Amino acid sequence: MRAVVVEQWGGPENLVEREVERPEPGLGEVLVRVHAAGVNPVDWKTRVSGGLIEWGAVPAVGWDVSGTVEAVGPGVGILRPGDEVFGMPLFPRQAGAYAEYVVAPARHLAPKPASLTHVEAAALPLAALTAWQALVDAADVRPGERVLVHAAAGGVGHLAVQIAKARGAYVIGTASAGKHDLVRELGADEVVDYRETPFEDVVSEVDVVLDGIGGETAERSLKVLRDGGRLITLPGPDDVPAARDGVRASWVLVEPDHLGLREIAALVERGLLRPVVEAVVPLAEAAKAHTLGEQGRTTGKIVLSVV
């Protein structure tokens, strides 16, 4: 099969397409024919140096997939050949999603929302599960709570705005001015142009901050939280500021999550969640997708088309 692998850690030019052996599904696993593979910042961050991921013999980045079950291994009861599925298998171990086929534990996948194309479905798993696990599982956002989403037009942010809204929250997003219409369309009640106005000057009494930026944005976010507030920062554990009394600050790492994917699919089918895809790039041009994504200005998601 065709797969994009990492020749050596470094720049996007190290992503190369190769013929590699097609994997076989083992106990409890399925083989997925990949139609589209989503691109996430962790893909290029780990391409640079490997990071903390448990790599296989030939390093292959990429986790988000949408595709069709080709074969099932022994013991799989919930999926059959021909089922259309989406998911983020194996993270933070290697999945190798930039390929024609991937093997995944059955419960690292869920039925693809029928109303989405494979390209749209591949935009969801890692970013939407991150938003879901942060806002719902970790922060337990309640109806009427005030939620501030940083980078509200980005991969995680544009889904987090919609998920927070679906939970009945009052949602404030930060984005540059050209993206405000989109963030409002996605359901935000207020949008702050973070380049013009320090957000802490105009936002206060927030219950939950979802921070996809880290660094000083995470530090400054503590100021807008009310007592009992929760800050969840995403880039890394070193981005978690020392919390003051009465507020909680933490990092969460997204994990494969069958039930979370089903909740996300249900929101899509109820018309409460839709992915925005900024660019679709052929698998063979994965390096181009990374170069684009690494600029840090993506609106929604970049997706690789595989078939």
Ligand X SMILES: NC(=O)c1ccc[n+]([C@@H]2O[C@H](COP(=O)([O-])OP(=O)(O)OC[C@H]3O[C@@H](n4cnc5c(N)ncnc54)[C@H](OP(=O)(O)O)[C@@H]3O)[C@@H](O)[C@H]2O)c1
Residues 118-142, buried b or exposed e (16+ Cβ, 10 A)? bbbbbbbbbbbbbbbbbbbebbebe
Q: How far is CA 208 from CA 87, 88, 155, 156, 300, in A?
A: 26, 25, 19, 15, 21
Closest residue to ligand X using C-beta atoms = 154
Contact flag: residue 298 with ligand X (CB under 6 A) = yes
| Site map (CB under 6 A) of ligand X, residues 111-150, x = contact | ---------------xx--x-------------------x
| CA gap 198, 98 in Å, rounded | 39
Q: CB neighbours of 44 closer than 8 A, spacing ≥ 6?
A: 12, 61, 290, 293, 294
Among residues 116 and 156, whose Cβ is nearest to ligand X? 156
Contact flag: residue 174 with ligand X (CB under 6 A) = yes
| CA gap 203, 210 in Å, rounded | 14
Among residues 59 and 155, whose Cβ is nearest to ligand X? 155
Among residues 271 and 296, whose Cβ is nearest to ligand X? 296
Among residues 21 and 295, whose Cβ is nearest to ligand X? 295
- Interface size with ligand X, residues (CB under 6 A): 32
Contact flag: residue 212 with ligand X (CB under 6 A) = yes
Among residues 51 and 56, whose Cβ is nearest to ligand X? 51
Residues 221-256, buried b or exposed e (16+ Cβ, 10 A)? bbebbeeebbbbbbbeeebbbeeeeebebebbebeb
Please pick, from the candidates 156, 166, 210, 277, the single residue that binds ligand X as defined by CB under 6 A.
156
Contact flag: residue 105 with ligand X (CB under 6 A) = no
Contact flag: residue 296 with ligand X (CB under 6 A) = yes
Which residues within the stretch 49-78 sit at the binding site for ligand X (CB under 6 A)? none
Contact flag: residue 157 with ligand X (CB under 6 A) = yes
Burial label for 285, CB within 10 Å (0-12, 13-18, 19+), is: middle
Contact flag: residue 182 with ligand X (CB under 6 A) = no
Q: CB neighbours of 23 closer than 8 A, spacing ≥ 6?
A: 31, 101, 102, 103
Contact flag: residue 226 with ligand X (CB under 6 A) = no
Binding positions for ligand X, rule: CB under 6 A: 40-42, 45, 126-127, 130, 150-151, 153-157, 174-176, 179, 194, 212-213, 217, 234-235, 252-254, 293, 296-299
